[in-house]
Amino acid sequence: MTCSEVHDCLEAYLDRSLDRAQRAGVDAHLTTCADCRAACETASWLRQRTAALPRQVAPSRDLWDGIAPRLARRQRRYAIPLSGLVAAALLLVASSATITLWLTRSSSPAVSAFASTEAGYLSATLELTELYARARETMTPETRAVLERNLEVIERALGEARAALRSDPADRALEAIVATAYRRKIEFLERATLLDRDG
């Protein structure tokens, strides 16, 4: 057995879960390799000590007092009237349909499948952009600036990927990159709308 192989099965060796042949192999290596023997002894020695560590540690104060107000604030922040939701939904359906129509008419049959996919991504980003704009109003200027910078990077990446795909619409790898860039933008917007660092 090599040192690397011994290191890989060290935990199982200490757990006594190796089969007889493997265990014999580790034992043989340990008798001849001082470094691995030291590593094994140290791992075993630390195991006994970590087992005695408390798995729970109470904070020095009741943290709930700082949590509860943040929960209530979040509920208020995202309380959108039903009429607003209905209007937003109608707008999304209309914009999604328009975008899909535009994309599919301006593309060849070979790329229309991706155009439809892209329309879905666009629809999702439209919805999230609206929510992000709402959340943005309550952020501190510093937080807002950081998010804007990050969003700009994502937008530029997406723009460059889409430009590359326009120049070579049949390239499936480029389609995958555009889709990934959309997903990153969607994920970013989702996270940004849930940010609650503004105290």
Partner 1 sequence: MRADRYPIFVTAILALSHPLPELAASDPADDRAAGEQLVAQACRGDEGAFERLYRTHVGRVHALTLRLTDDARHAEELTQDVFVRAWERLASFRGESAFGTWLHRLAVNVVLGDRRSAWRRVRRVTPAGDLLELEAEVRSVAPGLRLDLDTAIAGLPPGARTVFVLHDIEGYDHGEIAVLTGIAVGTSKAQLFRARRLLREALDR
Q: Which of 99, 135, 181, 192 binds partner 1 (CB under 8 A)?
A: 181
Give the torsion through C-alpha atoms of 21, 27, 29, 35, to 10 deg. 140
> How many CB atoms neighbour CB 121 within 10 A?
18
47 near partner 1 (CB under 8 A): yes
43 near partner 1 (CB under 8 A): yes
CB nearer to partner 1: pick between 48 and 83:
48
45 near partner 1 (CB under 8 A): yes
Say how many residues touch partner 1, by CB under 8 A. Answer: 49
Residue 57: phi, psi to the nearest 5? -130, 120
What is d(CA 105, CA 127) in angstroms, rounded to the nearest whole number? 23
Contact 170, 112 (CB under 8 A): no
> How many CB atoms neighbour CB 45 within 10 A?
9
- Minimal distance in Å, beta carbon 53 to partner 1? 6
Chain position carrying tokens 């014999």: 24
Stretch touching partner 1 by CB under 8 A, among 24-32, 81-89, 123-131, 181-189: 181-189
Structure tokens at 28: 């043989």
194 near partner 1 (CB under 8 A): yes
What is d(CA 189, CA 187) in angstroms, rounded to the nearest whole number? 5
- Minimal distance in Å, beta carbon 97 to partner 1? 28
Q: What is the contact surface with partner 1 in residues (CB under 8 A)?
A: 7-8, 39, 42-43, 45-47, 49-50, 52-61, 63-64, 66-68, 70-72, 74-75, 153-154, 156-158, 160-161, 164, 171, 173-174, 177, 180-181, 184, 187-188, 194, 196
